[in-house]
A and B are shown apart, each in its own frame.
Chain A
Amino acid sequence: MRKRKYLFVFCMLLAITLAGGIFTGAYIRLEDRREEGHKLHIVTSFYPVYIAALNVVGDNTDVELENLSEPQTGCMHDYQLTPKDMILLSGADLFLVNGGGIENFLTEVSEAYPSLNIYQAAQGLELLAEGDGHGHDEKQHNHSEENAHAWIDTRLYAKMVQNIAAALMEADPANQTVYQKNADHYCAKIQKLTDQFAELKETTAGQPAVIFHEAYAYLAKELGMQTVYCLNLDEERQVSARETADVLEEITEHQISIVFAEELYGKDLGNTVQEETDAEVCYLDTLVRGDYKADSYLNMAQKNIDLLKQAFKKK
């Protein structure tokens, strides 16, 4: 009896090990098929940086471009590196990040891989300070004092693209002309968006706005609008009753006519605002998640512009 029991336990553990081994083996083989010979290996931190780099790289087959997070991850505040991320970074030649404090795991990465070349796309850009222009003294976010959502402003985004091109040219001098050409081509497309914003600015300049996401501070700036109140709604943030009351009061007091919000996190509060006040809520995209198509930034930004045009035409 006892012998049988030990045999049984042994068989059980062996079976589980085998099943686990086969399962894992199949998974690894599936993954390995995607890996190829040695190329310039570039890893980007999250979506806007990835799309920018994708456009600069173009159809250059000597470069392998990978993104650390999933396309739907969104902003990287409080992102947690997984073991797989660390492995991905260990094989990278260049790590392109947004910078400005969004990737708060950077120190961890540079400690683990001191030789990894980390490049901040937003470097040299004029970033807004966190909480710029809103009448709210409580600190809402836990990353550094800069508001780094610069990619929303098409003018700054174009600069980021040029920065990324410069970084790529340094890492891969052989393809310098290709990168410069791609970047210029892409920036020309971005310029079209910028022109449309400039057109919109003629009607919007000077108007006050309330924003429900820090990122829209850049949008308001590009439109020449004044941000009177910023409520930073994002991942896992709950709004208290007092804050809601504050927002509503602010909107009525300043006679705000437009509120910029994000569909995903701002919908509930947006509905309340629409019911309780005269302000119009405009649901825009923060351009931080989407698919991996090269044009997806342009398309989504265009959609934002269309929405804005509609919102301002109504009045």
Chain B
Amino acid sequence: MSMFSWLHYDFMKYAFLAILIITPLFGVMGTMIVNNKMAFFSDALGHSALTGIAVGVVFGVNDTNISMVVFAVVFALLLNKISSKVAASTDTVISVFSSFSIAIGLAILSKGGNFSKYSSILVGDILSITPLELWYLLVILLVTVLFWLIGFNKLLAVSLNRTLAKSRHISVAWMENLFAVLTALIVMLSIKWVGILIINALLILPAASSRNISENMREYHFFSILFSMFSGNLGLIISYYVNVATGPTIVILASIIYFITYWWGRRNHI
């Protein structure tokens, strides 16, 4: 097997392109998710994918991508709305929603003992990437970059202090909803090949590692994107040669980076 033999296969080319598009996205979104302490929120979103597919199956939608995305967007908005109104702490509300949606998904998909048909979505299947999905991802990348250029300062203000943001005439609810919808779109479009069980790790780990060693926003973003792309590409190549699922390999690399940066950050008091 030669060094670049993996580029001969179409599915590897698609996977490679997908990783080139999605890892910077994960890096950027991750920074804000970690800042806003939304790790649990994105995790719940990932779980809702199962329900999205189930809903698609029930209504006979051909492309379950569509039902997944629609459901996740509704789910994210609902979650935002309720967690800002209910007195109980946010993690409780999210937990309730997450468990409820995953239970619905499991109940519908396991009807007739057929769940094994969908088990690939738990660990991800890199063969499932199609050119169409690559276009979706590219559009999302452009939207996210645009959103970041226009709205980053407002988003940061909201994440620092809601009252402060309001006093500056920033529509807090709008910003939060936009961000949630964007997260939902990204999670849904990559979940089929990353897998429900680990997608959150990909969102959180690069940003968390970066936070360990960064001193300002610019560094925070730079390292997050760097770590995300690095573990994504290396993970894909290693998984190809060693014959293991791609998602977990990427997460293992990202975790190693987290541990090393944690140690460095502690030692240098950042």
Q: Give chain A's interface residues, CB within 8 Å of chain B.
A: 1, 5, 8-9, 12-13, 16-17, 20, 23-24, 27-28, 31-32, 77-78, 80-84, 86-87, 90, 112, 138-140, 142, 232, 235-238
In the complex, how many residue pairs between chain A and chain B have their CB atoms under 8 Å apart?
A: 76
Q: Which of A12, A28, A237 is packed against the most chain B CB atoms within 10 Å? A: A12
* From B10, B117, B256, contact of A78 by CB (8 A): B117
B9 at the interface (CB under 8 A from A): yes
Q: How far is the CB of A13 from chain B (nearest CB, A)?
A: 6
User: Could you say which of B1, B240, B268 contacts A83, with CB atoms under 8 Å apart?
Assistant: B240
The 8 Å CB contact of B119, one of A83, A86, A236, is A236
Given contact pairs A9-B213, A24-B238, A28-B241, A236 touches B127 in the complex (Cβ within 8 A): no
Chain B residues with CB under 8 Å of A13's CB are 226, 230, 257
Q: With a CB–CB cut-off of 8 A, which chain B residues contact A90? A: 9
Cα-based distance from A87 to B10 in the complex (angstroms):
12
B62 touches A (CB below 8 Å)? no
Q: Which of B223, B243, B268 meets A82, CB within 8 Å?
A: B243
For the complex, give the distance between the alpha carbons of A128 and B67 in Å: 37
A86, B1: Cβ atoms closer than 8 Å: no
5 cross-chain CB contacts under 8 A: A1-B268, A9-B226, A83-B12, A86-B127, A140-B112
- Rounded to whole Å, the gap between the CB of A43 and the closest CB of chain B is 16
In the complex, whether B116 has a CB less than 8 A from a CB of chain A is yes
Interfacial chain B residues near A238, Cβ < 8 Å: 110, 113
Q: A16-B234, A84-B243, A140-B112 are in contact. List 6 more A-B contacts (CB 8 A).
A: A17-B234, A24-B241, A24-B242, A28-B1, A31-B1, A236-B113
Partner of B125, one of A5, A31, A80: A80
Residues of the A chain whose Cβ atoms lie less than 8 Å from the Cβ of B125: 80
Q: Is the interface of B mostly helix, strand, loop or mixed?
A: helix
Known: A9-B213, A20-B234, A83-B127. A78 touches B116 (CB 8 A): yes
Q: Is the CB of A237 within 8 A of B113?
A: yes
Q: Which residues in chain B, 223-241, are within 8 Å of chain A measured between CB atoms?
A: 223, 226, 230, 234, 237-241
Residues in B125-143 with C-beta less than 8 Å from chain A: 125-127
* Interface of A: prevailing SS: helix
Q: How far is the CA of A138 from the CA of B114 in the complex (A)?
A: 13
Chain B residues proximal to chain A, CB less than 8 Å:
1, 9-12, 110, 112-117, 119-120, 125-127, 213, 223, 226, 230, 234, 237-243, 253, 256-257, 260-261, 264, 268
Q: Which residues of B contact A24 (CB under 8 A)?
A: 237-238, 241-242
Residues on the B chain within 8 Å of A138, using CB: 112
Q: State the CA gap A75–B59 with chains docked (Å).
A: 30
Q: Nearest A residue to B256 by beta-carbon distance?
A: A16
With CB as the reference atom, state the residue of chain B lying closest to A24.
Answer: B241
Cα(A138)–Cα(B113), bound, Å: 11
Measured in the bound complex, the distance between the Cα atoms of B242 and A24 in whole Å is 6
Q: Whole-angstrom distance from the CB of A211 to the nearest CB of chain B?
A: 16
In the bound complex, do residue B11 and residue A83 qualify as a contact, i.e. CB atoms below 8 Å apart?
A: yes
CB-based contact B257/A12 at 8 Å: yes
Identify the closest chain A residue to B10 (Cβ). Answer: A112
Smallest CB gap from A31: residue in B: B1
Q: In whole angstroms, what is the CA distance A237 to B10 when docked?
A: 34
A9 and B112 contact, Cβ closer than 8 Å, known pairs A16-B257, A20-B234:
no
Minimum CB–CB distance for A25 against chain B, Å = 8
Contacts of A80 in B (CB 8 A): 120, 125
> Which 9 interchain pairs have the tightest Cβ spacing?
A237-B113, A84-B243, A236-B116, A78-B116, A24-B241, A20-B238, A27-B242, A12-B260, A24-B238
